[in-house]
A and B are shown apart, each in its own frame.
Chain A
């Protein structure tokens, strides 16, 4: 018995695991540091914005003035309200255009589309659309809606650009939600004699609705922070007027932030930090409400 153990020890005597262990340990450390890098950068980014805002507050930029007045040459009387209202207008029309188009396409692809070449073309095209840079959507809106259709650089044109940009996101989310509805529900409805549209409207859509809403809100959270398409459409960079209708010229929150951050005068950087805090607050509350809807309805089901 003891002889056997001794033999075993001899067998493994020349195996040196130290190198492998050290390499394994170093690799683990490297992966851990990499994973933490993202977290640290997110923390730095938020702290940096808060710090810049704090310095702004210290040099006398009044947050109340910021939230209640329009843009101004003088940073101490400049505010964000025109941009906030502009963003609200944009979101309203982006929701209308993108939901109709996105959910309609998703229903067609999931419920009606035959498996043929046209359907495959539509699906392949969606993957491509999702990869088109946002600034190109702005060019499209500039060429077609602003100039060719003579709409001018107005809220409606900006909203169309944003809607086209987020439609692929809404379609993918809605398709997933529709796929999550069990086929038994469709078959049951069909067995009761309902047409396909009656099945979709009264059985499938209500079941898929929370998923669709979650996807749509997340897409809108993306749209509210988009800057490049709006710059291409042609926003007012220093907006002194609160837009009153969808055919007026406008500024949005991200474009105003861009303008302030772009200026060499440092007071405006602090205004940009104020603006970023407002923008991120709006975005995160949208994301939070999307997560809330998802969790709530998942539990019920």
Chain B
């Protein structure tokens, strides 16, 4: 049927019968499709303004658009307190405190601990895949890593509270007399690290594959061992690509929500103790929205202030990643 249509319109096109109508339709479709593309840009704009608009009312009691229309504003939370305050109790009835630092510290702790898992293991996996693995091993290993990457984060969260904390951490640390609480930063961070291994591995491996064969062959010809080629040639030559992988993994870890919401706890702690309960920015949002407070209240608007901070941090990480990636593409052109 479609083929008949096609030949019919082709004949028409040749005879010049309906070309004007067809061209009009082509222009209409083009505009419609451009509209689709425009919506994707609009999404970013909408995210930014929805966050900014509500975060403004977190600080000044009225929404940004009301302020722009000439509304009166009064300070509710000072920006300085939000950025530099060391206590975060948005729901406290008498003396609420709105310092984001404990949430930032919680996120930072998780990201750093997760990086200790994901970066060495991910990079070594990439080296193994690109230098050591036989095609047969690769054919098994790569899909397995893809499955690992596809597991929903809620399942990783469940894994953290039902295996990593009670079996792995208590089993390893218990004999040393270290007590491991039900919720702790370390177990969430290990799960986040495992989740980001495939990302680090696959992007680093792509970067390693882009290293020109001439470089590695030259090194082998000089009598270098595989270890020397890996450390001396392949890793330095693909360093910016590997770096881009790390940045992307860190960005993912910052925005990771369900693992930390389940396993890291809900007390905003300004601490560097990996076995303490911490609350990240994302875990706060999930936890806060459950006790849904009235729209417009400072508790509700605090979601957006934290969301805006999260969005800006991940945006910065993504831009940095983009910059590093572009530089690495130029290297071997």
Residue of B nearest to A44 (CB): B163
Q: Are B33 and A108 in contact (CB under 8 A)?
A: yes
Q: Are B155 and A287 in contact (CB under 8 A)?
A: no
Tell me the bound Cα distance from A68 to B302 in angstroms. 39
B251-270 interface with A by 8 A CB criterion: 251, 254-258, 261-262
User: In the complex, what's the smallest C-beta–C-beta distance from B149 to chain A, in angstroms?
Assistant: 9
Interface size on A, residues (CB 8 A): 89
Pick the contact of B289: A132, A142, A167 (CB < 8 A). A142
Interface size on B, residues (CB 8 A): 101
Q: Are A194 and B132 in contact (CB under 8 A)?
A: no
Pick the contact of A132: B154, B226, B314 (CB < 8 A). B314
Tell me the bound Cα distance from A168 to B152 in angstroms. 18
Task: Verify if B158 is at the interface (C-beta below 8 Å from A).
Answer: yes
Tell me the bound Cα distance from A35 to B9 in angstroms. 56
Residue of A nearest to B285 (CB): A135
Q: Are B154 and A131 in contact (CB under 8 A)?
A: no
What residues of A have a CB within 8 angstroms of the CB of B292 in the complex?
234
Q: Are B150 and A287 in contact (CB under 8 A)?
A: yes
Tell me the bound Cα distance from A206 to B141 in angstroms. 33
User: In the complex, what's the smallest C-beta–C-beta distance from B205 to chain A, in angstroms?
Assistant: 11
Q: Are B22 and A225 in contact (CB under 8 A)?
A: no
Q: Are B230 and A27 in contact (CB under 8 A)?
A: yes
**Interface, chain B (partner A; CB < 8 A):** 2-3, 5-6, 9-10, 13-14, 19, 22-23, 25-26, 29-30, 32-41, 43-44, 46-47, 50-51, 53-54, 120-125, 127-129, 131-133, 141, 144-145, 147-148, 150-159, 161-163, 194, 197-198, 201, 225-228, 230-231, 248, 251, 254-258, 261-262, 282, 285-286, 289-290, 292, 295, 303-304, 307, 310-311, 314-315, 317-319, 321-322
**Interface, chain A (partner B; CB < 8 A):** 20-21, 23-24, 27-28, 30-35, 37-39, 41-42, 44-45, 48-49, 52, 100-101, 104-105, 107-109, 112-113, 121-122, 124-129, 131-137, 139-140, 142-144, 147, 164, 167-168, 171, 192-198, 202-203, 206, 221-222, 225-228, 231-232, 234, 237, 254, 257-258, 261-262, 269, 272-273, 276, 279-280, 283, 287
